[in-house]
Chain A
Amino acid sequence: MSLQYLKAAAAAGDREKLVRYVRLHFGDGNEEAGRKEIDKAWAEALKPLLEVPPTDREFILETLRTRDSATLAHLFFHLHFHFVQQSGEWIHDGRL
């Protein structure tokens, strides 16, 4: 999928094309693998919160308030790979 294809999908509100691209990105070209990777990241993100430990909400809120959308979106992608890596199940050939 080219960037032009993705921009057209975004402009048309075609969420399925965008999500499919994200799945392919996370799944190294395998959409089903990408879907599982997304689930895996969310499961890993949930685990540290189960005991309700203190978290730095000031940092979170400050970051959300002061950083631009592109930086936050980039962080979101970083967090996905961070939690996937933390799971110990690494499907990718290379490294971050």
Chain B
Amino acid sequence: MTEDSSGSRQLRPGLWATVNERYPGSMIHKSHGVPLAPLRKPLNECRVTFISTSGVQPKGTLPFDTVHPVGDYSFRRVPSSARADELDIHQLKYPTAGAERDLNVIFPIERLQELAAEGTIGGLTADFFTFIGYNMDPERLERTLAEDIAAAVSDSGADIALAAPA
């Protein structure tokens, strides 16, 4: 969350005061925005990747560390060709009842596969990238996890990175 999010666009009055009371010191200060990166070719020629904080991961891989009090700063690769029933969710901090019925509500892998198959987008990177959003050290997250994912996305040949929080 950012202090810039306060003011008229906040979700409800007093939200930030509540957050500060329950989690004092948790506010992140960001003074710089992210520069826009306009597409350089048509969407139907672009390879798309997906970055998600959902905690979705291939079954049988080391579960995200949901118990660590300071968080998990690792990420998982999820093959973009995976079926939903080949994936698990390991996280504690958001309701997963809907995602248990249809993974696409939190991790729209089948929708992206469809967009690629029908040619709306040029294709998908071999892997998507996931992590869990419960991380108490934003500086470490930015320095390690974000950089690691950025490098992996860059190596993947993605033209577009779709990022979605859980």
Contact = CB atoms under 8 A, between A and B. Distances in A.
Interface of B: 22-26, 55, 63, 66-70, 89-97, 136-138, 140
Interface residues of A, number: 22
A1 B26 contact: yes
Interface in A6-65: 6, 21-22, 24-25, 28-29
A95 B96 contact: yes
Contacts, number: 66
A2 interface: yes
Contacts of A2: 23, 25-26, 136-138
Nearest to A3: B137
B93 A96 contact: no
B69 A94 contact: no
Contacts of B63: 96
A70 to B, nearest CB: 10
Q: Report the 3 A-B pairs with minimum CB-CB distance, sorted nearest first.
A: A5-B25, A93-B95, A3-B137
